[in-house]
Every structure is written in structure tokens, then in C-alpha cells.
Structure 1
């Protein structure tokens, strides 16, 4: 297993070209945030914007629109119940993040993404989307352009591997069959990809154990895939490492690291590593 270090950030985070515009840094669509879990979509969108995504749109429940506009005026918003509007946003996205706060009654949206996605687009499936993929046994249209970000229980639903039995060889076997990248979240998060060595994090902290942390990670991964396209697995590993790196730094002076605090540190931390 390859232990991730700061080197992955130096390799990935590059200086922005002088001649660039917002489209240069990726068009990201986030689908999630039902009437109960609107904050999850807002956190995913915020982390995407703060980590440099050029254009971020959020398809979410109408009751979340005012909060999103107030919290994150940089993002555009749409009604996730308007199928025509969602399809239009899907067509123009470089990266689609689906699942943060989506809820289990919106399987239609997960199915819509699987129907509409094109091979040149990336899909990051998180939260409710993972459970829906497992429950409905949905096929991934382009596994090699898909990232799944399960915690241990979600990984159990997807793979059938019980918590406690999710060993590196067994998870790698599942990933080889699946064909997608899997960011297996735990106290020692590991990143699996078909035909690749496993990447591991040893810098996590229990200060991260709070609601919304996974939504924040999904937004950063989506943002990095939209910006840093030279080596996609590198972008995924760098995003995952950066998430824990910031948390570790904040935990030096904070008992708990809130996702909102982590998000605020993203631009400053990325600046330290740009090459």
C-alpha cells in the first residue's frame, strides 16, 4: 500500500494559467439535498467552490434554494424535481456529484444520471446514491469514469463484505470486478482503483467525526476532477488527502473540526502547494 503524503499535493495543485476563465476549471453539477438534508448539498457545493471549481450548479429541493443563495452566492441553483432542467444541467457538466443529502426516495435522479451520463463525464456517487445503487442494483454505465465514496456500512451494501471483513485484498477484488474507483472512508481511509496499488491515509483524526464531512469530501473530489485532469486517479487521491490534511491541522487547536471550518481553509491550504 502506498502511504499518501504532502507530495501528492505538490504533484497535483498547479498554478492557474494567466489566460483562463471559469470554464477552464470545470463545470460541476451537484444533485442532492432533500427537504431534510439540504445542508449536505450546500456543504458539497461550498467545498467544490472553495477548492477551485469554475462553475458549480446545485440541483436540490426548492426549500433549499434561498439558503444556498444566501450561503453560497457563487453557485447556481435548480429544482431537482424539474426533470427537463436537470437533464440540461447534466448535458453541460464535466463532473456530476450525486448523493449528498439526496434521500432514499429520489432513486429516479440516480437512474436519470446513469441514463444520461456520457463517457467524457465523471460521476462521483456519495451518500444516499450509494445505497440506491446497491438497493436497485444499478449498473454503472462508465465505471472507469466513476468514483464511489462509501463509509464502511455503504461499502458493505455495495460489495457484500461485512464490516470487519473489508480487508484490502477483498475490497480490491470487488473493485477489480466493479471497474470504478472506490474511496473507502474509515479511520484509515483507503483508495482503490482497478489495476492500481492501494493508496492509504494515516493522517485522519477523530475530530473529523461530524455530520457533513463526507459531503465535503465529495465536493472536493468533484472539483479536483474538473480542474486537474492530467492524471485522474492522482486528482482523486490528492483531494482525499487534502481533506484530511486540513482537518489534522485544524485539530491541533480545535476539539472538533466542522466541515464549514475545513472548507474555509481550502483556498489557503491549496495556495501553499501550488507549483
Structure 2
């Protein structure tokens, strides 16, 4: 059964149920046959990732995900593996009941999980407890079993969705399986690519189970994964005026680093000119550190107005602060009604004084800032990142980048893309400032707000992954600047080293 790394098209659970029903009709097969195909794909994944495994334990819930597990047990037994099977309940529901009977007909026993039960000593655990059907926190014995699996020290293969993880939102309800590999079935699930999923999915594979691509295409995807993208090569007859003028506004007392990072990343992402409007005390240091930045001291709105006239795109917020100086610059910049990237304290001020945007605008909140913009808690944002990103775009008439593991990009029409790159080393100061500069530079070079946000998020995350090859811990925001230039030119790195 073919297994693919993943699919760009991501669906909700409701959509997946529609697809599954259509698949059975298109293939002319029964539910048990589709279950058998899932079990076969799971065995293939198991053999590919752990070819030396001889002894495994499969954990089965009462529904169809458990049925996949029972049939995997049958196939693994027939392949000569030693299989232990743990069940949550004495009976299985619906089509899973026949799968359980097939396992028991081999003369194999089922260990019923209870408070006194202990996990068998095996090489690998398989999670077939809940799949996409869970929409609440596991409690009692199921939660205890999940925690025992996680403590076992053995790798885990999850079938379809790691149990305890919401396939729609990526939110972890409570106890949730931490898988080394997840083989998901038929079509991509959007929740496996964002939020808490990063700590639970492991390596993700898609087994389509022979379902025709047209069946999935008939149900429009709720979201899509970003693809690798960069701007085309530049015309030979070009000058700096062709690539826009970004004005970075911010850097209150003690925060020169924020505007420095945003400005330099705008340069490395290809803006023709980059100016910085900041506190006068920072100008000397900025000129010394990066002379290509045109640094200007501005003491208020009148001084900023002169800088706004020549700018084509604004990057507003890095180190801006929310005191009188920052607030005055914020108001003046927004009133200019120019293409804009708004981040950091620019977003916090927007939460205090909401407005909708008519010029192309990209907002780049982290979950805390998103919560303030929506008037909800950070936890509420994380419980459904997809809904939060879409509501922000609708409320503020802007393209929104909701940052975090599996960053989301949403627009006013409900379109949403998910970033599949990035790493926890990027959870450090200055990374957001870099993203602001990158997106602003792409706007300045003629991208739409949607294009700039999608390409900017992708370049930023991929540069972070490239920089993290030397280790995630200790990664600095400025470490991304060199790989950003390589990736922004559509290069792999090999060309640069061997030209």
C-alpha cells in the first residue's frame, strides 16, 4: 500500500467522514476492507521504520481505530511477529467487532486494561485507541494507559492520529500519546500540523489506502500546507528603486536590537532600500553595525512624517513600546495608509484601539497577542488556532500570521495555509522581528499581502531549520540571516559553496 510523506491538502474531521463515505462507494468496497487496508499500511510503516522489531504491543480502543489495531495484530502475527494486544473495553463497536473476532480466532488473548494491569515488555507500542473520533480529554483508565505508554521508553507508532490529540485543532485535551511515527489514513488532517501536534505526531506519513485522488479533491480542503517558494531571478536591467523602500518604525529606549534585526532581515530578503525610524540614541550604533540601514532619529510624529513620504512599505512595531512616543508614531504611521506589517507593540496598541485596514496589511501575532486582539485568553486561541487566525483576518481586514509551532496564515476570505517548517530553537528573542522585516521586504518587491505572508513565513522557518543544523539550543535570530539570503534566492546552499 503506497505511503506518502504527507499531503498538501488538509481536511477537518467532518470533511474526512464525507470523504470516507465517498471512498467506499468509489472503490466498491466495505468498511472492513478499508480497515484491512489501513492495517496493511500500518504494518508496512512499522516494518520500514523498525525493521528489527520482533515483539510489539497494540493498544486498541472500542471503535474503528481499535479495529485497525486488531487487524494489524492479525497481519503482524501472520508475518511472524510476537504480538501482545491490550484493549480498553471487553467489547468493540460496529465493524471493529469483526476485527476483534479475527484476532481472537487466532487463539490469541486480549489483555483488558485495568488499574492493576502493567504494560508488557516489548520493542514497540502501537496506538490504536481513538483516532479521529476523540473530542474530549481521556479520563480514568484511558488516560492512565496513555501515560503508561508515554513512560515506557519504547517508540510508538500511532494509527491515524495520536490518541488524545484533536485532529481538527492540534490541541492536546490532556493525556496524549507521544508517537515517534504517525501513519494517517486516506487524507491529511489539519490538526496534525500545528499547536501541540508538534510534540505528539513525530514523523508523519499519509497512506491513501487506494482512495482515488478525485474523491478527496471533491471535498475542498479546509487548509493547505505551504510549499517551498521564492521570488524569480531579478532582471539584469534593475536598480534599487525597483525593489521598494521599507521603513522600520520602533526601537524605544533600550530596544535598538529589534529594529536592527527587522531592518537587516528586510535587506537580506531583498528590499532595495531600508530606513529605520527610531530613538536618536540608537542611530550611531545602527550606523556602525549595519551601514546599509538608513537610521534616523525621530522624536515624534512630525519627524516621522518626513520619513513616511519616501517609504513604500512600513514595518511597524519592533521595540516600539506602548508609551507616548510609541503611541504617537503608531498613530502617524497608520494614518499614512501605506502597505504595512504590524507586529509586537504595534499589535498591542491595535488591541487597545481597534481599526480595520484598507491598504495591504499583514498582522503577525503570537498567541498571546492574538488573544489580546480577540479579547480572549491565550489558552482559548491555542484551543482552536484555525478559528482564531480566521477571526483575526475577518475582524481587522488583514492577512494574519498566527505564529507558533505550525504557524498559520489566514486571509479575509477564509483561505488558510499552514507552515510545515520551523523548530523550537526559534523560540527566542528577535525571531519575530526578523519575520516582520522579511514580510515587509516581500511586500516592497511587489508581492500581495497574502504572497508576502506565505513566502515570508516559509523563508523564515526554513532559514531557522537550516541554522539549527548546528543545534537548536542557543540559536540566535541573527543566525538566520545567512541562510535567509541563500533560500531567498532559490538556492540550496550547494550553488553558493561551489560557484
TM-score by length of 1: 0.91
Q: Bigger shift: 126-135 or 263-272?
A: 263-272
Pair 1:62–1:54, CA change in 2 (3 A): same
Q: RMSD between aligned alpha carbons? A: 1.7
Structure-2 separation of matches of 1:214 and 1:180: 18
- 1:228-247 alpha-carbon deviations (Å, 9 max, x no partner): 43x44122200111100011
Provide the residue aligned with 2:278 in structure 1.
60
Runs of 4+ in 1 over 2 A off after TM superposition: 82-85, 254-257, 271-274
Whole-angstrom distance in 2 between the partners of 1:17 and 1:58? 27
Query: Aligned equivalents of 1:237 and 1:171: distance in 2?
Result: 14
1:150 maps to 365
- Pairing partner for 1:164 from 379, 382, 386: 379
Indicate the residue corresponding to 1:269 in structure 2.
487
Whether the 8 Å contact between 2:300 and 2:328 is mirrored in structure 1 is: no
More helix per residue: 1
Compared CA separation, residues 170 and 126, structure 1 to 2 (3 A) = closer
- Consecutive unaligned residues of structure 2, counting only runs of 5 or more, are 1-222, 493-499
Among 134, 139, 163, the residue aligned to 2:355? 139
The TM-score normalised by the length of structure 2 is 0.51
Number of matched residues? 264
Tell me which residue corresponds to 1:69: 287
Tell me the SS of whatever aligns to 2:444.
Answer: helix
SS of the residue aligned with 1:24? Answer: helix
2:465 counterpart SS class: helix
Between Structure 1 and Structure 2, whose CA radius of gyration is higher? 2
Please say if 1:239 is aligned against 2:461: no
1:126-166 deviations in Å (ceiling 9; x for gaps): 1111111112x142442x51111111110111112322322
Listed as ranges, the matches of 1:180-191 within 5 Å are 180-191=398-409
Aligned match of 1:3 in 225, 242, 260?
Answer: 225
- Does the Cα contact within 8 Å between 2:242 and 2:445 map onto a contact in 1? yes
What 5-or-longer segments of structure 1 have no aligned partner? none
Aligned to 2:466: 249
Q: Secondary structure at the match of 2:266?
A: helix
Q: Is the 8 A contact 1:78 1:85 kept in 2?
A: no
SS at 2:380 equivalent: coil
Q: Using CA pairs below 8 Å that are at least 6 residues apart, which structure has the higher relative contact order?
A: 1
- Report the CA distance between 1:249 and its aligned residue: 1.6
Structure 1: how far apart are the matches of 2:259 and 2:363? 17
Aligned to 2:331: 111
